[in-house]
Amino acid sequence: MSFRAIINAEIVSGLSAPYRGDILVNEGTVQQIGAIDIPADAEILDAKGKLVAPGIIDLGVFAIDKPAFRAGGITRAALMPDQSLPLDDPGLIQRAAASGKPEIWVHPMAAATRGLKGLEIAEFALMQMDGAVAVSTGRGWIADSGVMQRVLAYAAPLGLTVIAHAEDDGLTRGAVATAGETATRLGLPHAPAIAEAMAISRDVYLAELTGASIHFRQVTTAAGFAAIRAAKARGVKVSCGITPAHLNLSDIAMSDFRTFAHLSPPLRDESDRQAALEAIADGTIDVLCSGHDPRGPEDKRLPFADAAPGMAGAETLLALSLGLVRDDLIDYARLFALLAANPATILGIDAGVLAVGMPADLIILDPGAPWKIDTARLAARAGNTPFDGLPVQGKVLHMMKGGQLIS
């Protein structure tokens, strides 16, 4: 037996408001919560009144970056299929699933089409047998509606959610910014924000037709949220996510051609950012994700239009998300639903809540611990964050994966 007891904890289950109690863990599973009987040989960890919450399940990372995940409290990472070799083969899925051991659970997503080219559907039923937890279109949109219909029809009876990118490529091809005053002033290739809602609208109708579950990894515009709300009201099995970047920044952040603010989808105007905050508050958004995509100088020290999109978001996800609680938009229960419980449900993973019988994937955090985001000091393999220099609050003190403390 390998008992661990976490005492003096402020417990955030992901299901209810925080409450004071203790937690007993044994053989990788939560055994007791609340008033517990501590075995004489148990290893005791004193939380000293800090929050103990489910480990974050980051839905849609582009790289396995264990130091960044540990710093950010991410115990499970759902890996996008956009790798040097796209994850369109069972052997590649197996290799990806093993890549986080022993510190992190990695849950690979199968490429929806061979080579992520959007032309021929991949054999994701075979990939599911080797550990794929979802099907993804990757960074791009499948332009051929017939192909997308077949992807959804194939995924539905397998119980696999399709993770989709929401931009109509016919409008966004070659664009690096959202059409508007900022893009015009900077002379950047741009596309209308409505490209997002157009992509969502087609795909939700196809999901409705096939009975499949679809999740849009990032929705960032007022029109996009309206399309999601309408689909949910019709009973479509649809969900959506967003990163802190699109909740905290508008396209003004690109004003000095800062390539760290070159993201996919691109930053939107202020009215869309406000719509995103409303969508968090009213429950339209189901997931907070990091969009973790570390990019080195060779990708970012280029003219804005030539730089690669993406940000290193894993270790800032929690601190930036805690700001939503301090601003009274959501409470702790909703926060960890967005960060853990909902991603687990979408991916079909038995995790994401702190409850008896669930895996002991936990974090102990101090939500008030101050620090400053510094690109030079991030644990990520590259520090390409648009939040460089921003003071934040919230630090992970300890992380437990499968009952084992991860240093």
Is residue 161 one of the residues assigned to a domain?
yes
pLDDT of residue 15: 75
Q: Looking at residue 299, which CATH number applies to its domain?
A: 3.20.20.140
Is residue 304 one of the residues assigned to a domain?
yes
Is residue 380 one of the residues assigned to a domain?
no
Is residue 23 one of the residues assigned to a domain?
no
**Burial degree of 301 (CB within 10 A; 0-12, 13-18, 19+):** exposed
Range of the domain at 73: 56-353
Is residue 6 one of the residues assigned to a domain?
no
Is residue 309 one of the residues assigned to a domain?
yes
Is residue 269 one of the residues assigned to a domain?
yes
Residue 150 in tokens: 């077949």
Per-residue pLDDT of the chain (407 residues; tens, 9 = 90+): 579 999 999 999 877 789 999 999 999 999 999 989 899 899 999 999 999 999 999 999 999 999 999 999 999 999 999 999 999 999 999 999 999 999 999 999 999 999 999 999 999 999 999 999 999 999 999 999 999 999 999 999 999 999 999 999 999 999 999 999 999 999 999 999 999 999 999 999 999 999 999 999 999 999 999 999 999 999 999 999 999 999 999 999 999 899 999 999 999 999 999 999 999 999 999 999 999 999 999 999 999 999 999 999 999 999 999 999 999 999 999 999 999 999 999 999 999 999 999 999 999 999 999 999 999 999 999 989 999 999 999 999 999 999 999 97
Residue 55 in tokens: 């480990």
As a residue count, the chain comes to 407
Residue 405 in tokens: 């403390």
How many other CB atoms sit within 10 Å of the CB of residue 286? 24
Is residue 25 one of the residues assigned to a domain?
no
- How many domains would you assign to the chain? 1
How many other CB atoms sit within 10 Å of the CB of residue 407? 7
